[in-house]
A and B are shown apart, each in its own frame.
Chain A
């Protein structure tokens, strides 16, 4: 690791002003992505601003038709939150599948979506549930937030404070884990909104990061059942391929995971 200066912010404003004062700062939440990268000297921020202890950024709340997860809430807290399990059980389940226990105790939703790894789980939920990302400056619809591999709509120094999810009528998630990292080889989140819209998002599959899957959405719109997806064919072009999964395999997984997610959603 290169030399760096560590700051612990106690409020969102303090974090923002510390950022503004530093030459090349990075926010630190669970550190599950940032710290390994720093240890390998692939990143060398002058300052590290820890946002994980900011009280206003931690917690899960349900009110009316919205579930709000504050940005520095660890995955473990989401997985075990009664509010999350009641409002959107598929989301709590998704959080329970992230990495391993150590990663879940530390890693946060804010860090995960800010990083926007093409195989991360949360982005699929945000996109399928049409969630809104709240920052210290504005609100951003999920569809506008994710901009391809490791890229988001966040501006320099902008802090994610929370993510709010409209509670759906039905939702389900199914994931095939990468054998080594346990990220998603492919993960599919299916949702039926209270107004009847069907939204399906896949992570781990596309070369451009998290994506909607219109063919599956159309099939489910007519018939919300796993069998409805039988005849859908997902093209392999544009999908990721690596030693653990060819593009054809991932195309198959998108379909199979979607079917299992629908089955889980009921």
Chain B
């Protein structure tokens, strides 16, 4: 692998810039003549906007303009779209309520923008915003899903009677009914998957710069996928044609899904920049992040699992209510359907599965993909069910899983997915060994003698990652393809620029992508740079989410590299007067195999550009591109086991050990992989113990600051004990599966399974706050 090649623990190239405060985020960018936007947001969860009086504000110092939702509609700026069409079981399309970027008539969640003040400074804009008088007529609101679908509930959208977005089904209901009718045992469980606020460290921001002479827009924004942003903004929002819009996503401080979507603020900034004729900057604050960044999860599910007399699962029946908030965000529709129900087979051989998912509108912030997106909800459900079943059937939870593991691959599940490879027993073995599973009963007894309740919980997750292939997602309703692109530019001196359609906002692409090049060409990673995040520099690409950048994005780079190498070999062979087939690449040199004849890579590059002596008919230059579209998803999987203690006096949970044995296929940089797992585990544990975005019955957010919303901190977490078992992914040449979401997908169930084991009661909702655990312990 070499010291910097694939598999090496190379220190991140980008960290020098981040650690020394030299990162360049959107808010760091200042343009000449730049104005500042402050949005006026609804304090009501549901209200009619009867009028907006900005006359006093317009007279205030430094105010450039006050723009309203009505002007936006008058200018024919398009409503926000949802990019994945879902069809209900009765054949009807999902019911989309119109979502204008600023509400001209009706607001449907607290924080929805109704107008924007543009001023010389952010503070002046905010001063003026306080002078804008919005006349609201409050309407009854509904925040709770079950309340929203009752007859007589306040209705959000005329397009969606009963506040229902869709009623979607997957699987064979007849086969499931047949399985249940002959079941030896049936296990039932109700679970809530709590709503989360993503809270990337960097709040969202946008700077729009309209050039009237060129009729050209530049948008700097906090995006995980700048090309998709440009496509959506131009194709649907009628703001700028695609060739007249440059989208730049510079350093981005975390996304976790929340920066996939194109939000109203970017649309308004672009539109406003043209209207006022000056650049417009908006930087959200933490309160705005809580109110307007798409939330995650928020499911209520009833599930039943049927077992035969040998404890083999014979059927699974699931009914889920998914809260979409007030509007359908960009990819929201796919999250509780194709990203959730298709993973309900977990790691198990389940011959019959049927799931029904009912999407519901409520007067809350829109919900969309958040780290794991649908897969954490599926994994949590299945792993809670397995633990519940083990308790009910009185078998060891690890053994019950083994009894049902899929061991033959490829494996076609009854819910679309075809698992390509895996070794679930190997991961579980590794995790059980790491935590000394066999020694647990003795440790539990020891803890008991000290007044502590000790528990252990297993979670065996599987996820579908490397989100792609285009043909498959297209057939399921996706409005976009999910391939990735790359261009490899070799400069005349032999340094290399990689232009990638992936986008790094914490993942370390500037290091790992270079490692591939180092591995293949033997050049040091300092000679390679990664270019991403600018639609003027980089060819169209799909961006980063769904743990896809290594499996899809890096493979695209590999494909382009292969083309570069092939041409370079021809040039080398010509220079060395050898046959192309005899050229091998070793330590940065192109060699004639079995001889000492060699030419250094930079000389090959130079030859390509001087073009003095190229093979007959060859074009000068050394630059190749590739688009890569895989044939299947990848299937990272693993086993997490958590051991913890509960203090019966306070209900407080303390971790004893947390082991994670993951199978991510090939690892490019194990250190970066561990970092990804640590972060994912923190978010999974955060969901299990701490985090919950809560609304009161009237749709007022209760947790809109860090003083109320409990983000996990270092001292809330154990020291993680990580290991890897490996089956290479057969779907891509590098054998990569992806690691970005696993921790968030697998961790929550391990924690709740462990707490419920400790306290001896199976039903416990997330987050398992000390109060909730204490009440569960002491409930009759």
Contact = CB atoms under 8 A, between A and B. Distances in A.
A binds B: yes
Interface of B is mostly: loop
Contacts, number: 52
Interface stretch (A64-72, A77-85, A173-181, A194-202): A173-181
Given A180-B706, A181-B707, A249 B690 contact: no
Interface stretch (A45-53, A122-130, A164-172, A238-246): A238-246
B650 A244 contact: no
A41 interface: yes
14 contacts: A100-B713, A179-B769, A180-B703, A180-B710, A180-B711, A243-B708, A244-B769, A245-B769, A245-B771, A246-B771, A246-B775, A249-B774, A252-B649, A259-B649
B184 interface: no
A72 B102 CA distance: 47
Given A176-B652, A179-B769, A1 B775 contact: no
Given A2-B127, A181-B707, 6 more contacts: A180-B708, A243-B702, A245-B770, A249-B651, A252-B650, A253-B650
Interface string A1-34: 1100000000000000000000000000000000
Contact of A243 (B126, B694, B706): B694
A256 interface: yes
B405 interface: no
B703 A176 contact: no
B692 interface: yes
Contacts of B127: 2
The 7 nearest A-B residue pairs measured at CB:
A180-B710, A179-B710, A256-B649, A249-B771, A181-B707, A245-B771, A180-B708
Interface in A179-221: 179-181, 185
Interface of A is mostly: loop
Contacts of B710: 179-180, 244
B91 to A, nearest CB: 42
Contacts of A243: 692, 694, 702-703, 708
B711 A176 contact: no
Contacts of A245: 769-771
Interface of B: 123, 126-127, 130, 287, 649-652, 689-690, 692, 694, 702-703, 706-711, 713, 769-771, 774-775
B771 A180 contact: no
Of A100, A185, A249, the most chain B CB neighbours within 10 A belong to A249
Given A1-B123, A245-B771, A246-B771, A176 B650 contact: yes
A249 B769 CA distance: 11
B707 A179 contact: no
Contacts of B703: 180, 243
B707 A180 contact: yes
B709 A244 contact: no
A243 B710 CA distance: 11
Contacts of A179: 689-690, 710, 769-770
Nearest to A1: B123
Contacts of A185: 770
B409 to A, nearest CB: 42
A232 to B, nearest CB: 14
Contacts of A249: 651, 770-771, 774-775
A230 to B, nearest CB: 11
Nearest to A186: B650
A190 B639 CA distance: 46
A1 to B, nearest CB: 7
Nearest to B690: A179
A180 B775 contact: no
A85 B568 CA distance: 72
Contacts of B692: 243
B547 to A, nearest CB: 29
Contacts of B123: 1
A244 B769 CA distance: 7
B776 to A, nearest CB: 11
Contacts of A252: 649-650, 774
A41 B126 CA distance: 10
